[in-house]
Amino acid sequence: GAVVSQHPSWVICKSGTSVKIECRSLDFQATTMFWYRQFPKQSLMLMATSNEGSKATYEQGVEKDKFLINHASLTLSTLTVTSAHPEDSSFYICSARGGLNNEQFFGPGTRLTVL
């Protein structure tokens, strides 16, 4: 199947700093990318949907100024957590939709720990 990568796979940062997470579709062009967040022992919750070249659409309750999403190309989307705080510690998973059947493929996730 298609491959979606995320970098970094884990990151630890100090409170108040910003962290950027990359999501890449390696062997297909992704017209749409999604960012999910998963807190411990909970389900995946969609944060935002982004289409290449346009602004992301955020789900209710997700601060767009805190979670900056850039979908600059058909193979790359980035999520920047600005001024991260301990409550932002979570598992962030991206997914990319594309390919022959326009399926959605998930990345391996990035574990963010904010001290």
Partner 1 sequence: AQKVTQAQTEISVVEKEDVTLDCVYETRDTTYYLFWYKQPPSGELVFLIRRNSFDEQNEISGRYSWNFQKSTSSFNFTITASQVVDSAVYFCAFSGGYQKVTFGTGTKLQVIP
Binding segment for partner 1 among 16-24, 65-73, 76-84, 106-114 (CB under 8 A)? 106-114
- Considering the complex, state which of residue 18 and residue 102 has its C-beta at the smaller distance from partner 1: 102
- Considering the complex, state which of residue 54 and residue 83 has its C-beta at the smaller distance from partner 1: 54
Q: Closest by alpha carbon to 79, among 94, 91, 89?
A: 94
Number of H helices, E strands in the chain: 0, 11
What are phi and psi for residue 86, nearest 5 degrees?
-50, -30
Interface mask toward partner 1 for 47-86; x: CB under 8 A: --x-------------------------------------
Residue 45 identity (one-letter amino acid): M
- Considering the complex, state which of residue 19 and residue 93 has its C-beta at the smaller distance from partner 1: 93
Token pair recorded at residue 10: 């884990």
Per the CB < 8 A criterion, the answer to whether 48 and 109 are in contact is: no
Residues forming contacts to partner 1 in the complex (CB under 8 A) are 1, 34, 42-46, 49, 91, 93, 95, 97, 102-106, 108-109, 111
